[in-house]
Amino acid sequence: MQRRDFIRSTVAAASLGGLLGVEGNIANAQPAAVPGASRVADRVDGSGLQLSLAAYSFRRELSGKKPTMTLERFVDYCAEQELQATELTEYYFRDKSPGYICALRRRACVNGLAISGSPLGNDFCHPPGPARDKQIAHVKAWIDVAALLGSQTIRVFAGKAKKGSSEAEARKLAIAGLKEVSEYAGKKGVLLAIENHGGITSTAKQLLALVKGVDSSWLGVNLDTGNFHTDVYASIEKAAPYAVAVQVKVHVREGKKPAEEADFKRIAAILRSAGYRGYVALEYEAKEDALKAVPRYLDKLREALA
């Protein structure tokens, strides 16, 4: 064997050995241990950012007594904007029948769109009783819907501390509820993503206390860039390594100061540095008409993510 062939075969064998593991079993193969910023289990090093749009951006058009837009039309709109995905918020589903859900899934599929998320509203800070049971059942039912829909994540809330309840008590209740639904979500193959949404999730520290308290591979963070109001970008930086879903608002606000334009490029840099892989959904909430403003902001966000 010539020297160069020997070297080539030795390198190949070493590489294969690394892939197969110590017992030479490809089923037990492990990726090379490369330290990364991400704290999400099984996420490989690096970053990949893809663009989505939240249906909530068209809340005025999708709701009310006489909606001017349907979820079907919203899916088409996302395709027309050449996005990679669409985020379908629970509030705007006409019904929860399998036929309707499967039709939405098909519509997204034939238009080349993934369903990046299907946010819902919930409150796990109720004490034990009928109100809490109803919230748990609601989330589990939506997990079933999301699994049929093919949604990758579900945005969930922790809830709000009730009158007479301390933050510590509310956190304990929220963690218990999140643990129960995370276990259920794992059986259905749907990731849950808890949002920084005020109350006991106002700060990155509060948010991560819940994530770490639940300690489930089926629960991560739904990072809403517009919902931190203290050290905004530093807070985004702290939460980003735990993100499994991201919603980007067009404005940020520090404390009681006036809102200002979000720095999309800075946000994208933070996500890359945190090793985030996944969808970044524009969630438009500003005053300008969404049909006029959304395409412009999508272009800005697309440029930042490129």
- Is residue 153 classed as helix, strand or coil in its secondary structure? strand
Instruction: Identify the residue whose tokens are 């909606």.
Output: 67
pLDDT of residue 24: 37
Pair type for strands 251-252 and 243-248:
unpaired
Which of 46, 18, 71 lies closest to 272 in space, CA to CA? 46
Which of 151, 153, 223, 225 lies closest to 182 in space, CA to CA? 153
Within 8 A by CB and 6+ apart from 125, the residues are: 158, 159, 160, 161, 162, 165, 170, 173, 174, 199, 200
pLDDT of residue 37: 78
pLDDT of residue 124: 98
**What CA–CA distance (Å, rounded) separates 306 from 284?**
20
pLDDT of residue 162: 95
**What CA–CA distance (Å, rounded) separates 225 from 207?**
13
Which of 299, 242, 250, 225 lies closest to 276 in space, CA to CA? 242
pLDDT of residue 41: 86
Query: Residue ranges of the domains in the chain?
Result: 1-30, 32-305
Which of 156, 154, 171, 162 lies closest to 131 in space, CA to CA? 162
CA distances from 133 to 44, 117, 157, 188, 197 (A): 37, 24, 15, 20, 22
pLDDT of residue 300: 98
| Residues 52 and 84: beta-carbon distance below 8 Å | yes
Class of domain 32-305: alpha beta
Q: Which run of H or E residues covers position 48?
A: strand 48-53
Residues of the chain by 3-state class (helix, strand, coil), percent to 5 = 45, 15, 35
pTM for this structure? 0.86
Question: Which residue intervals of the chain are DSSP H helices?
Answer: 3-20, 59-62, 71-80, 98-110, 130-149, 167-188, 204-214, 232-239, 264-273, 290-305
pLDDT of residue 2: 45
pLDDT mean by block of 10 residues, the chain; 306 residues: 40 38 35 57 91 98 94 99 98 96 98 98 97 98 98 97 95 98 98 97 98 97 97 97 98 95 98 97 97 98 97
pLDDT of residue 23: 37
